[in-house]
Structure 1
Amino acid sequence: MKRLFIFLLICHIASLEPHSLWYILSATTGISDFPEFLASGVVDGVVVGYCDNSLKDTIPKTHWMSKLFEEDPQHVQWLNNKCLLNRLDFKATIITLKQRFNQSEGVHIFQRTNGCFWDDETGEFDGFNEYGYDGEDLIRFDLKTLTWISPRRQTVINKHNWDSDGNNLYWKHALTEDCLHFLKLYLNYGKSSLQTTVHPSVSLLQKSPSSAVTCHATGFYPERAAVFWRKDGQELHEGVEEGEILPNNDGTFQMSVDLNISSVTAEDWRRYDCIFWFAGLKDSIIIRLDRTMIRTNQGSFFGKYLGIAIGVVLLLLAALACTLAFVAWRRNHNGL
């Protein structure tokens, strides 16, 4: 299974148990107004630190990572040095790759993902280190055999050089001893936040009576969650458009999934429901497809007609006031 992703602005990793630490580094060329190098650290699916070629220092992305930075300046310096060295290395590597692939122009992305998984209950552990170029696997390190595997002829020379220069022992130590040490360190600082579960507010939204019905969940944490539509208890894949998990300003997340109801008859509405589900937890939130529960641009059915009723009452009161004013005027006029 590929663990390689194009990392642009927001890193989203569907992180399940066990615990995980990912380092994601990318070099880009041909993209204006975008960093030529960027790197991010991700713990249990949460981005905890970031750096790029425009920043002097690594930036903490969580409050508990900020606390770690304050209490352990040596670790901050280690991260800053790693960011600088990788930035220089990646810049040179992407130039080499363009030459090997006979490329002169265009948008290109070179990426490395490395890290580890650790089950704190069973002690099971695994590490990984993979490189990719323009979204395709390039070369990866096999931790069991301590050798490099290259599916591309352009990196066969790297495999032979890296397998013979003794650098594989460095990666063995980095992916086992170092990665587990840092993962435990980050978990110790972030355990109160990483283990907190905040359930969302789930709503059904619709722009117009003929448009798709959106199931919108917002305010949940962590982001290891899913929102999907079901019919008769079975997950739907046709007529459904899934949105991305997006961050809110308060550190929580939101996600939407649309259901095309153009072919759904009124009698079949009760067969559909929307599910919000946290990965690793048994409980879920179920919202049945119901017209009275849908919020639209015009408001709910009840709210729409309540507004009309209030308007009618106000018109009647205005008419009554005009009538009383007219009667009073006639009395005064006759009196004159």
Structure 2
Amino acid sequence: MKFFMILFLLGIPTVAPVMYSLKYFYTSSSGIPNFPEFVVVVLVNEVQIIHYDSNTKRAVPKQEWMNKITEDDPRFWEEETNMLNSNELTSKVNIAIVKQRFKRTEGPHIVQRMSGCEWDDKTYKINGFEQYGYDGEDFLVLNMTTETWIAPRQEAVITTNNLNNNKAQLAYFKFYYTKECTDWLKKFLYYGKCLPACSPDLPSVSLLQKTPSSPLTCHATGFYPDRAQMFWKKDEEELHEDVVRGEILPNHDGSFQMSVDLGVSWLRDDWNRYSCVFQLAGVQEDVITPLDKRVILTNWRRRGASMTVRDIHLHFSYFFPTFIKKH
């Protein structure tokens, strides 16, 4: 399994609980020109809130609302910077040790660390995680249930033996990831108004088609959280053949977007028998968009009512994404 691979899971029940997360990503590198040797990114619900690197040596906010935290804790940014300064020094020792374990002292190398916690405000379930990777593969994983370190690679066995003998550190990890980490997560959620909301947000859904022979796209944007699925159905039967689901992608405001394509081979009979279905974790009712030729946005014509300003922006961002991104 590749380290930190993101899996987009389909088939999630609509009543699934919503988990909130606080994640720290540490990247230590050596031998990579024009790239900081140490970078830290902190995310809440997949929204970046803090950045630090070895060039600036300062922890800085990545969201305007993060400045509010100093109203209650005036020394927050100073203490955060001091902590990450210390982590930077430790990272240099760690990457040197790992390179020796693998007997690879030359060339570029990267050590990654991911730590944090997830919290469900309805069931109060808490998950903590701490793991390391080296050059893109798992190296160390902390099992929070058994309170033991696991070595996915033979080169990590010596390290796990040393860490598992440090009972005081293991006890601290358990306390931190089940109590202190979630306390910080709740604080960040409060300042960020739950990024963007404590309750799920439903999307706006549009039907798009580039040409009469192109697949018909059902596009949903602005939803939150990112545990969702979309599919096409005919009457009450879900379609699988000639259907392509896109990945869930982030928007700049912390919400998400996704799409699902329907091949034109299906569009030979009554279009009113088709509909696009969007399902969001934590929401009981589906968002159903009937297939109506009058509301399809195309790049050769627009049937029915004239376009709104929002329609025009969506139209051009779909057909000319590179232009919109650059301009």
TM tier relative to shorter chain: 0.7 to 0.9
Q: Which has the larger radius of gyration?
A: 1
* Matched length: 296
Map residues 154-173 of structure 1 onto 2, 5 A cutoff: 154-165=155-166, 166-173=168-175
Is 1:110–1:133's contact at 8 Å kept on the other side of the alignment? yes
Partner of 1:253: 255
Partner of 1:325: none
Superposition deviation, residue 79 in structure 1? 1.9
Superposition deviation, residue 238 in structure 1? 5.5
1:234 aligns with 2:238: yes
Counterparts in 2 of 1:173 and 1:284: CA distance versus 1, 3 Å:
same
Q: Distance in 2 between matches of 1:269 and 1:135?
A: 47
Superposition deviation, residue 177 in structure 1? 3.2
Q: Work out which of the residue numbers 178, 189, 202 in structure 1 matches 2:191.
A: 189
Q: Distance in 2 between matches of 1:20 and 1:235?
A: 34
Q: Distance in 2 between matches of 1:3 and 1:22?
A: 18
Superposition deviation, residue 102 in structure 1? 4.1
Partner of 2:312: none
* Structure 1: tracts of 5 or more residues without a match: 305-336
Partner of 1:177: 179
Q: Distance in 1 between matches of 2:44 and 2:219?
A: 26
Q: Distance in 2 between matches of 1:205 and 1:95?
A: 52
Is 1:45–1:223's contact at 8 Å kept on the other side of the alignment? no
Superposition deviation, residue 237 in structure 1? 7.7
Superposition deviation, residue 178 in structure 1? 2.0
| TM-score normalised by structure 2 residue count | 0.75
Q: Secondary structure at the match of 2:192?
A: helix
Is 1:221–1:253's contact at 8 Å kept on the other side of the alignment? yes
Q: Secondary structure at the match of 1:68?
A: helix
Q: Secondary structure at the match of 2:129?
A: strand
Superposition deviation, residue 154 in structure 1? 0.7
Counterparts in 2 of 1:212 and 1:265: CA distance versus 1, 3 Å:
closer
Superposition deviation, residue 195 in structure 1? 1.4
Q: Secondary structure at the match of 2:211?
A: coil
Partner of 2:322: none
Map residues 255-274 of structure 1 onto 2, 5 A cutoff: 255-267=257-269, 269-274=271-276
Letter in 2 for 1:210: S
Q: Work out which of the residue numbers 215, 219, 233 in structure 2 matches 1:216.
A: 219
Superposition deviation, residue 205 in structure 1? 1.4
Superposition deviation, residue 3 in structure 1? 11
Is 1:16–1:224's contact at 8 Å kept on the other side of the alignment? no
| Cα-to-partner distance string for 1:165-190 (whole Å, 9 max, x where unaligned) | 44323323322332132123223333
Letter in 2 for 1:133: Y
Q: Give the root-mean-square deviation of aligned CA atoms.
A: 3.5
Letter in 2 for 1:208: T
Q: Secondary structure at the match of 2:138?
A: strand
Superposition deviation, residue 47 in structure 1? 2.9
Q: Distance in 1 between matches of 2:49 and 2:213?
A: 42
Superposition deviation, residue 22 in structure 1? 2.0
Superposition deviation, residue 153 in structure 1? 0.6
Q: Distance in 2 between matches of 1:23 and 1:48?
A: 10
1:285 aligns with 2:284: no
| Cα-to-partner distance string for 1:113-134 (whole Å, 9 max, x where unaligned) | 2222333444433322112234
Superposition deviation, residue 227 in structure 1? 4.9
| TM-score normalised by structure 1 residue count | 0.73
Counterparts in 2 of 1:244 and 1:148: CA distance versus 1, 3 Å:
same
Superposition deviation, residue 299 in structure 1? 2.6
Higher relative contact order (CA 8 A, sep 6+): 2
Map residues 1-336 of structure 1 onto 2, 5 A cutoff: 5=4, 17-28=18-29, 34-103=35-104, 108-165=109-166, 166-191=168-193, 193-195=196-198, 197-218=200-221, 220-232=222-234, 233-234=237-238, 236=240, 239-248=243-252, 251=253, 253-267=255-269, 269-302=271-304
Superposition deviation, residue 204 in structure 1? 1.3
Is 2:47–2:254's contact at 8 Å kept on the other side of the alignment? no
Counterparts in 2 of 1:148 and 1:74: CA distance versus 1, 3 Å:
same
Superposition deviation, residue 158 in structure 1? 0.5
Is 2:25–2:114's contact at 8 Å kept on the other side of the alignment? yes
